[in-house]
């Protein structure tokens, strides 16, 4: 298989994923919530930012390495947590983690994964762990301890889903959870034999539909069954005191994901967080939310370099990475971009997505007259 896979940008990988996935799985990956204005807002806000390049700057040796939480990364980028990776590709989490490790960027394990944290961590590389809290909080505390035990250096607590989001398309296409065969999805599944055999077929040969991982054996449930009492994700009763309990339990870097207001960023700093993720969840939670890149400058000014800031939601080009850095982010997180690659071609597709973003970032830096990440400043933007 050629290294470029016939894909020369993230949009090409996106189209490959769209062709391979059944409609319901594709829409879960691609779509937002309600009227889906938020997705367009994320993209438009990034596109509206323009550069003022410098010339004659000797850019024959552009260095894209950048520290994240004090450790070097080949690019100011990490793979975001995506709980449905195992439905895009057989054991997709492992393919994402391995591609990230080989590329020299961090990978974030999702607590909603269908694989145990230990199995993903066996891949190696630089690992972070993302947490949704469960109704039985002790179940969450237990998996946090496991994540630390396998070497995850940072805990990311996702805050921007206090209640279930309104993803109406799942009702229309018949792919809601718990998942079951019905008249809406049966024909669609049959029309995608590569996915059906390569993902569901392989799981069935191994013992059945994948289960919600990182739970005690008696509480595990497959995606075809509803969660058992206590095992549901439940965060509508989470507050700053609840987050402080996690801070006390976690000995590594502590990050709050889903911050869009400067006051919340300041409160995160005050309670001892090492970092925040400026994110609107890829426009998959609140449709009317501010674009993440629009929220970034005020937050960066508020915290004044006293904590690590990551930017998430809408990153599709290397130019987006540079724009985020210029507006105050230390790094970006990418979710859909590597998932497009995973869904299109497995690990090779993930590698291609990272390589594309890396090459684009280096090229944009050279076009702007930049030789390293320290030279990226707000003065680059018109």
**Residue 131 has what pLDDT?**
97
Q: Check: CB of residue 127 under 8 Å from CB of residue 153.
A: yes
Q: Check: CB of residue 342 under 8 Å from CB of residue 352.
A: no
Q: What tokens were used for 114?
A: 């269908």
What's the distance, CA 293 to chain centroid? 16
Is 195 part of any domain? no
- Dump the DSSP string for 91-158: THHHHHHHHHHHHT--EEEETT-SS-HHHHHTT-SSEEEEEPPBSSHHHHHHHHHHHHHTT--EEEEE
Q: What is the pLDDT of residues 113-122, one digit of tens each?
A: 999 999 999 9
**Residue 178 has what pLDDT?**
62
Backbone angles phi, psi at 68, to 5 degrees: -125, 120
Residue 187's alpha-carbon distances to 19, 113, 183, 209, in angstroms, are 15, 27, 7, 19
Q: What is the pLDDT of residues 278-312, one digit of tens each?
A: 999 999 999 999 999 999 999 999 999 999 999 99
- What average pLDDT does range 51-80 have in this prediction? 97
Q: Check: CB of residue 134 under 8 Å from CB of residue 140.
A: yes
CATH number at residue 72: 3.20.20.70
User: Bigger pLDDT: 217 or 369?
Assistant: 369
User: Bigger pLDDT: 182 or 302?
Assistant: 302
Residue 280's alpha-carbon distances to 136, 155, 291, 336, in angstroms, are 26, 18, 7, 14
User: Bigger pLDDT: 261 or 214?
Assistant: 261
**Residue 218 has what pLDDT?**
77
Task: Give 158's strand partners.
Answer: 257
**Is the pLDDT reported for residue 380 higher than 70?**
yes
Is 299 part of any domain? yes
Is 363 part of any domain? yes
The range of the structural domain enclosing residue 41 comes to 10-169+227-374
User: Would you tell me how many other CB atoms lie within 10 Å of the CB of residue 32?
Assistant: 24
Q: What tokens were used for 241?
A: 């005191």
Tell me how far apart the alpha carbons of residues 179 and 354 are, in angstroms, rounded to a whole number.
31
Is 198 part of any domain? no
Is 109 part of any domain? yes
**Residue 224 has what pLDDT?**
61
Backbone angles phi, psi at 140, to 5 degrees: -70, -40
Name the average pLDDT for the chain: 93
Is 193 part of any domain? no
At 214, the pLDDT band (50, 70, 90 cuts) reads: confident
Q: What is the pLDDT of residues 95-114, one digit of tens each?
A: 999 999 999 999 999 999 99
**Is the pLDDT reported for residue 1 higher than 50?**
no
**Residue 208 has what pLDDT?**
80
178 upstream amide cis, omega within 30 of 0 = yes
Q: Check: CB of residue 207 under 8 Å from CB of residue 216.
A: no
Q: What is the pLDDT of residues 252-279, one digit of tens each?
A: 999 999 999 999 999 999 999 999 999 9
Is 200 part of any domain? no
Which of 256, 301, 263, 298 is closest to 279 using CA atoms? 256
Tell me how far apart the alpha carbons of residues 256 and 308 are, in angstroms, rounded to a whole number.
11
Name the domain count of the chain: 1
Task: Give percent of the chain with pLDDT exceeding 70.
Answer: 95
**Is the pLDDT reported for residue 232 higher than 80?**
yes
Exposure string for 108-117, b = 16+ CB within 10 A, e = fewer: bbbbbbbbbb
SS3 of residue 348 by DSSP: helix
Residues with Cβ within 8 Å of 341's Cβ and at least 6 positions away in sequence, in order, are 7, 13, 17, 348, 349, 350, 351, 352, 353, 354
Is 382 part of any domain? no
Which of 169, 223, 173 is closest to 200 using CA atoms? 223
- Which residues does the annotation mark as catalytic? 281
Q: What tokens were used for 219?
A: 């509480």
Q: Number of H helices and number of E strands within the chain?
A: 17, 10
**Residue 212 has what pLDDT?**
80
Exposure string for 298-328, b = 16+ CB within 10 A, e = fewer: bbbebbeeebbbbbbbbbbbbbbbbbbbbbb
Backbone angles phi, psi at 245, to 5 degrees: -60, -45
**Is the pLDDT reported for residue 318 higher than 70?**
yes
Tell me how far apart the alpha carbons of residues 175 and 181 are, in angstroms, rounded to a whole number.
9
């Amino acid at each position: 298989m050629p290294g470029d896979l016939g894909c020369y940008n993230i949009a090409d990988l996106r189209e490959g994923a769209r062709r391979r996935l059944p409609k319901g799985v594709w829409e879960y990956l691609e779509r937002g919530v309600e009227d889906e204005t938020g997705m367009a807002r994320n993209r438009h806000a990034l596109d509206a930012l323009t550069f003022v390049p410098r010339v004659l700057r000797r850019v024959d040796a552009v260095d894209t390495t950048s520290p994240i939480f004090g450790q070097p990364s080949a690019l100011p980028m990490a793979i975001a947590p995506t709980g449905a990776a195992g439905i895009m590709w057989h054991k997709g989490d492992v393919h994402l983690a391995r591609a990230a490790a080989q590329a020299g960027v961090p990978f974030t394990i999702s607590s909603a994964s269908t694989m145990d944290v230990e199995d993903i961590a066996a891949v190696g590389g630089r690992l972070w762990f993302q947490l949704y809290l469960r109704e039985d909080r002790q179940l969450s505390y237990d998996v946090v301890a496991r994540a630390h035990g396998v070497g995850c250096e940072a805990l990311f607590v996702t805050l921007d889903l206090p209640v279930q989001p309104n993803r109406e398309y799942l009702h229309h296409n018949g792919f809601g959870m718990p998942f079951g065969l019905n008249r809406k999805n049966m024909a669609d599944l049959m029309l995608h034999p590569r996915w059906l055999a390569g993902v569901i077929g392989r799981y069935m040969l191994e013992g059945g539909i994948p289960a919600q991982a990182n739970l005690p054996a008696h509480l595990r449930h497959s995606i075809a069954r509803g969660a058992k009492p206590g095992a549901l994700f439940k965060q509508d009763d989470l507050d700053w005191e609840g987050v402080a309990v996690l801070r006390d339990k976690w000995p590594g870097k502590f990050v709050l994901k889903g911050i869009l207001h400067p006051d919340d960023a300041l409160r995160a700093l005050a309670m001892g967080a090492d970092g925040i993720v400026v994110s609107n969840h890829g426009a998959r939670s609140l449709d009317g939310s501010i674009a993440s890149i629009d929220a970034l400058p005020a937050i960066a000014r508020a915290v004044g370099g006293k904590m690590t800031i990551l930017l998430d939601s809408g990153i599709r080009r290397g130019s987006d990475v540079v724009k985020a850095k210029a507006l105050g982010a230390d790094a970006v997180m990418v979710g859909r971009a590597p998932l497009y690659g995973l869904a299109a071609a497995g690990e090779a597709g993930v590698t291609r997505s990272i390589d594309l973003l890396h090459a684009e970032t280096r090229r944009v830096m050279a076009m702007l007259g930049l030789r390293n990440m320290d030279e990226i400043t707000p003065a680059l933007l018109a």
